[in-house]
Structure 1
């Protein structure tokens, strides 16, 4: 029987990312009161690139996905978290909503069990600390290695990052590095990439492109798979061990980025454009994209999200642009339009770019 949980909320909820400490304290008291209503209280320390984030929740689903997704951090009285997330359900009189206070590094989710947003904000909380204290660049993207060279794909949710990363892995000299988020450090002219999570949280409809995945997904923890059909709902998800995909030899934890691919989806732009650093940063800073299922907002409408990254809880434009300038000093950049070509045609273009990197 499929290990699948159907959430009432199936996408991102409205949020406030700049609440005051006073509002934060009120929300924490509300969350603690709800957690005290029952024996069902869970907490777990996640280690996200050295940043410890503790989850408190009354949702067995969120707890199970959280513990499965991240590398564990020690759970002792001598190890304190850098940031804390509360995620509580069953709060009467409250609409589903997410809140963040930067000063205390505290997030509070009310009445939503959709794991995707909790995961996203955990990465955003880690980024809030890492980018200013440790000079680590956080990117919403996926990464593969081809012939020893890292290929980083940066794009909005649902535009094919995972599909094309997996496509590169199919090459004899291809390996997979990350599916959704990459930590970068710039050292001696190189862009060094590290993974962010222990297991991938990915869309199950990838079985359309990779049918071999179906047997793997049947053994995974799943979210919002309707009627046992992995393609029925566009935002159904699973937690997958990357070593299952093609064996441990096809998964790597570090990479040196030599090519960056941006993806967009429209009916007018050229299929491929090579970008200089200035133009690439301009496109990233604007972050125009079309909303797809699970990405928040009305499906099909156009929105903007700087750097294609809805996970960043604190916007530091000058710092981000500086990071990307360093990236494009060591890696080429192309933008591809997935709205006018097939997945197979786009994959051919990416492979050609990787070969020349």
Structure 2
């Protein structure tokens, strides 16, 4: 990903203007993100993935994704919150960059109740939420769908959620209308096999799944954050333990905030993210789950936290 200036962004968009065939706006936690693309599949997946935003609303951020015959490249212009993706054949990148772009917007937007984005999942149980946060490949999505096999749990988000910090608590909010699910979820939880068979999968074996079909009647837009499970995969550490706020913060610093989709990584942004997690870890119970056991064994360690 390359940071570019406003003038460089204008020049690139002038070059790409005649390649844009589809335009769609999405409502991501109240902010308007506009997709401009030449890819019909991306347009349709975007419509299935995110909530609709009225076309009269001006965008807070834009994502351009088109083909120009060259290599895969990603550019970002921070002032206008504009991402440009060239020669991408994978919708997962488009989705993640859209969420990262609006996350950057929220970090720069200050209101009475501060809003932050977290690259993690959240499930609800009787109005209280459990968040799962970890580096890629540590089992966040697998554990989330394992918890959701229990009818007591409700789906909030399986990949990215937003927060508002209040004096007496933290509220989590869903980020997407539907889930961009992996087919290998059924490898761990056979109960999803038939439902995933209905999903139109791309070449990465992922596709947009209707969460109402997956979790009929168990969808929640918001919940009160009660506990956080941080993930690691370390053969030399114990499987499960409770962390102090300082230990939790050190884990996040060590793992680059468990977010590979940070568009801006400068000192100011680092301090903002550090301040957010420091504050949230002082308010919320935090556990560390080492996913060196089987998914079922790991699930047993966290299923009753709430």
State the TM-score, normalized to the length of structure 2.
0.93
The residue aligned with 1:308 is: 258
SS, match of residue 344 in structure 1: helix
The residue aligned with 1:192 is: 171
- For residues 144 and 172 of structure 1, the distance between their equivalents in structure 2, rounded to whole angstroms, comes to 11
Per-residue deviation, 1:42: 0.7
1:237 to 206, 209, 218: 206
Per-residue deviation, 1:213: 2.2
Q: Deviations over 1:18-52 (max 9, x none)?
A: 212222122212221433xxxxx111001101111
SS, match of residue 132 in structure 2: strand
The residue aligned with 2:295 is: 343
**Runs (5+) with no aligned partner, structure 1:** 1-14, 36-40, 225-234, 288-305
SS, match of residue 48 in structure 2: helix
- The alignment status of 1:50 with 2:50, answered yes or no, reads no
- For residues 36 and 175 of structure 2, the distance between their equivalents in structure 1, rounded to whole angstroms, comes to 21
Question: Aligned-residue CA RMSD in angstroms?
Answer: 1.6
- The alignment status of 1:81 with 2:81, answered yes or no, reads no
Structure 1 window deviating more from structure 2 (341-350 vs 315-324): it is 315-324
- The alignment status of 1:264 with 2:216, answered yes or no, reads no
Structure 1 stretches of 4+ moved >3 Å: none
Counterpart contact for 2:123–2:156, Cα < 8 Å: yes
Counterpart contact for 2:160–2:175, Cα < 8 Å: yes
The residue aligned with 2:16 is: 31
Per-residue deviation, 1:172: 4.1
SS, match of residue 103 in structure 1: coil
Where in structure 2 are the equivalents of 1:202-213 lying within 5 Å?
Answer: 202-213=181-192
- The alignment status of 1:254 with 2:222, answered yes or no, reads yes
- For residues 176 and 170 of structure 1, the distance between their equivalents in structure 2, rounded to whole angstroms, comes to 10
Counterpart contact for 2:122–2:156, Cα < 8 Å: yes
The residue aligned with 2:82 is: 106
Structure 1 window deviating more from structure 2 (43-52 vs 238-247): it is 238-247
Counterpart contact for 1:145–1:169, Cα < 8 Å: no
Where in structure 2 are the equivalents of 1:6-17 lying within 5 Å?
Answer: 15-16=1-2
The residue aligned with 1:323 is: 276
Where in structure 2 are the equivalents of 1:90-169 lying within 5 Å?
Answer: 91-92=68-69, 94-133=70-109, 134=111, 135-169=114-148
Aligned length: 300
Per-residue deviation, 1:171: 2.6
SS, match of residue 95 in structure 2: helix
